[in-house]
C-alpha cells in the first residue's frame, strides 16, 4: 500500500471551482499553524497570511474587478517568469494553459473566453476563503524560498483535510491594489493569493492533472 504522504502528494492538484459551503475558522487556523511548521533559514519564518471570507473577501474581489475594468495597468513588484521566456518553458506554459482550456471547452481562438477564465484568478475562483500572502520587503531572496515551503505545507494540509486549494500568482499583478484594499502596512509586499474551499466534484477543471518531468530531466546522481 502506498504511504500516506506519497498518496497525498500525488492526489494534490489545483482546484479552480468550489462548492458553496463555508470553511470553519478552526480548520483554517490549524492549516495555518501547520504551514508555519515549514523550515526556514535561521527560523525567520517569513510571510503573512491574510485570511478573508464573507464581506471582506467580496470587497477585495469587487475592488480588483473595478481596477481591471478601469484599465489600471498591472504593477507586479517582483518577477515571476524569466524574461524572455526560454522556448522550452514557453511550450510547457502553453501546454498547461491549453489543457485547462480544453477541459473547460474554451477553443484556442476564443480569446475572450480565455481572458474571462484568467480573470477568475482575481475572484479567487469563487472560493469561500481567499488568502492574501505577503512578505516583508526587507527579506532577502532566500525568504521567498522559505515562504514557498510554507505555502506548500499549507496546500498539503488543506488537501489532507479534504479541502481544495490553489495558489494564485496572478494576484501579484495587482499587488499595490490589494495592498490598498486591505490597508496593509508599508513593509508588506503582496506575493500571491490562495483560494481555499470544498472542491466542486462536478467541475471539469478540477479533474485536470498537469504533467511533470520524469526523473532524468531534473536529477543527476553521482557515486551510486
Contact 32, 154 (CB under 8 A): yes
Can you give the pLDDT at residue 9? 93
Single pTM value for the model: 0.95
Where are the domains positioned within the chain?
Answer: 11-80+124-203
- Domain at 11-80+124-203, CATH class: alpha beta
The three three-digit cell numbers of residue 56, written as one number: 471582506
- Cα separation, 171 vs 188, in Å, equals 14
pLDDT in 10s for each residue of the chain, 224 residues? 456 999 999 999 999 999 999 999 999 999 999 999 999 999 999 999 999 999 999 999 999 999 999 999 999 888 888 989 999 999 999 999 989 999 999 998 999 999 999 999 999 999 999 999 999 999 999 999 999 999 999 999 999 999 999 999 999 999 999 999 999 999 999 999 999 999 999 999 999 989 899 999 999 999 99
Residue with cell 490589494: 178
In DSSP notation, 3-17 reads -HHHHHHHH--B---
Amino acid at each position: 500500500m502506498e504511504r500516506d504522504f506519497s498518496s497525498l502528494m500525488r492526489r494534490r492538484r489545483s482546484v479552480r471551482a468550489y462548492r458553496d459551503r463555508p470553511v470553519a475558522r478552526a480548520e483554517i487556523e490549524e492549516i495555518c499553524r501547520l504551514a508555519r511548521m515549514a523550515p526556514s533559514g535561521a527560523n525567520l519564518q517569513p510571510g503573512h497570511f491574510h485570511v478573508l471570507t464573507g464581506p471582506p473577501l467580496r470587497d477585495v474581489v469587487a475592488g480588483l474587478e473595478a481596477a481591471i475594468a478601469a484599465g489600471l495597468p498591472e504593477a507586479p513588484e517582483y518577477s515571476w517568469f524569466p524574461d524572455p521566456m526560454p522556448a522550452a518553458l514557453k511550450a510547457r506554459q502553453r501546454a498547461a494553459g491549453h489543457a485547462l482550456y480544453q477541459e473547460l471547452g474554451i477553443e484556442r481562438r476564443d480569446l475572450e473566453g480565455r481572458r474571462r477564465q484568467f480573470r477568475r484568478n482575481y475572484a479567487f475562483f469563487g472560493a469561500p476563503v481567499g488568502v492574501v500572502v505577503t512578505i516583508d520587503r526587507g527579506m532577502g531572496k532566500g525568504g521567498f524560498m522559505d515562504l514557498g515551503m510554507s505555502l506548500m505545507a499549507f496546500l498539503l494540509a488543506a488537501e489532507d483535510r479534504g479541502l481544495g486549494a490553489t495558489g494564485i500568482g496572478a494576484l501579484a499583478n495587482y499587488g499595490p491594489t490589494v495592498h490598498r484594499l486591505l490597508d496593509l502596512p508599508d513593509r508588506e509586499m503582496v506575493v500571491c493569493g490562495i483560494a481555499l474551499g470544498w472542491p466542486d466534484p462536478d467541475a471539469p477543471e478540477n479533474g485536470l492533472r498537469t504533467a511533470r518531468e520524469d526523473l532524468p530531466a531534473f536529477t543527476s546522481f553521482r557515486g551510486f
